[in-house]
């Protein structure tokens, strides 16, 4: 006697996945998300797919996972009414102004000699304190 086996998924999937599951002899309980839920789940999916890129161990896996990330990015852009050619123009402009990631430059910390909280570096870092915590010298902490 066979038994019914059920697996909890609770994840955004590609549109054709319920049909694919059915073609393999399964049944997927699913529903269409509200626009706000869809946006939230796309963002979660982007994180999931980016983590899979990081776990890829060979060029074939890497190619597949990058394709998944790009599919999510296309969906996010469309959901927000952004055109991918405009995003590409922005990417190229930013690369022209700031560079890309080709060399692998890694900044350990930034120092700026100022008491001015309006300094652009200070403002940027202070606006993101979890990502860029200020490091105090032992003398300054007193």
Residue 40 lies in a domain: yes
Domain that holds residue 47: 34-99
Residue 93 lies in a domain: yes
- pLDDT value, residue 139: 62
Residue 48 lies in a domain: yes
Residue 129 lies in a domain: no
Residue 109 lies in a domain: no
Whole-structure pTM value: 0.80
Q: How confident is the model over 29-65, as pLDDT tens digits?
A: 999 999 999 999 999 999 999 999 999 999 999 999 9
Sequence-distant (≥ 6) Cβ neighbours of residue 53 within 8 angstroms: 62, 65, 66, 69
Indicate the number of domains in the chain.
Answer: 1
Residue 14 lies in a domain: no
Residue 44 lies in a domain: yes
* Inter-residue contact 52 to 65 (CB < 8 Å): yes
């Amino acid at each position: 006697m066979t038994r019914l086996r059920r697996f909890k998924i609770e994840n955004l999937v590609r549109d054709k996945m319920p049909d694919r599951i059915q073609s393999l002899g399964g049944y997927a309980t699913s529903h269409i998300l509200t626009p706000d839920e869809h946006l939230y789940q796309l963002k979660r999916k982007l994180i999931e797919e980016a983590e899979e890129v990081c776990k890829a161990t060979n060029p074939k896996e890497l190619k597949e996972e990058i394709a998944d990330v790009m599919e999510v990015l296309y969906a996010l852009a469309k959901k927000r009414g952004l055109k991918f050619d405009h995003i590409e123009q922005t990417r190229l402009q930013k690369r022209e102004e700031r560079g890309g990631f080709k060399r692998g430059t890694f900044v350990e910390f930034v120092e700026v000699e100022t008491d001015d909280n309006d300094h652009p570096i200070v403002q940027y870092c202070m606006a993101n304190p979890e990502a860029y915590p200020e490091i105090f010298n032992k003398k300054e902490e007193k």
